[in-house]
Amino acid sequence: MINKNITTGYHIPYNPKLKKRARELRNNMTVAESKIWKEFLKSFPCTVLRQKPIDNYIVDFYCASLKLVIEIDGESHEDKDAIEYDRERTAILEGYGLKVIRFTNDEVVSSFDDVCEYVMSFVQT
């Protein structure tokens, strides 16, 4: 459900109540999030924000210029309820015109070059 009372004047809603939690998540990234941030996204050709509140969610990485959300999913995203929650969350984010891409922790760690190449393909489109 979109909360129309929480905005920053832009078309992507921002929930200031999530700011503290987003900061905590930035300070406690998973191994996979840390790897992709330090070894790739930090020097990505477009600005990427970590743990960005959008609507009532906090996305792992957000590139406004590409309208791209990058999610790194751990084991907690594998059960039936989590899969459904992620599906609904993705649909809401896509409703704002965002492209949501997901990788597992294992993909980031074991297929890092492939993950980076796929993300980089959005710069060229």
Does residue 76 form part of some domain? Answer: yes
- On whether residue 11 sits in a domain, the answer given is no
Give the number of domains in the chain.
1
The residues, any chain, with a CB within 8 Å of residue 82's CB and separated by 6 or more, are 76
What is the pLDDT, as a whole number, of residue 5? 40
Phi and psi at residue 112, to the nearest 5° = -55, -45
From the first residue on, what is the mean pLDDT of each consecutive set of 10 residues in the chain (125 residues)?
A: 42 89 94 97 96 95 96 76 89 94 96 97 82
Domain membership of residue 62 as a residue range: 16-120
Q: What is the pLDDT of residue 77?
A: 52
Q: Helix %, strand %, coil % for the chain, to 5?
A: 50, 20, 30
For residue 73, tell me if it sits in a domain. yes
**Structural domain contains residue 45:** yes
- Would you state the pLDDT for residue 79? 73
Give the domain CATH number at 54.
Answer: 3.40.960.10
- The pLDDT assigned to 81 comes to 80
Residue 4 lies in a domain: no
The per-residue pLDDT for 76 is 63
* Gap between the Cα atoms of 6 and 45, Å rounded: 30
| CA-angle at 20, arms to 19 and 24, nearest 5° | 115
67 domain-assigned: yes
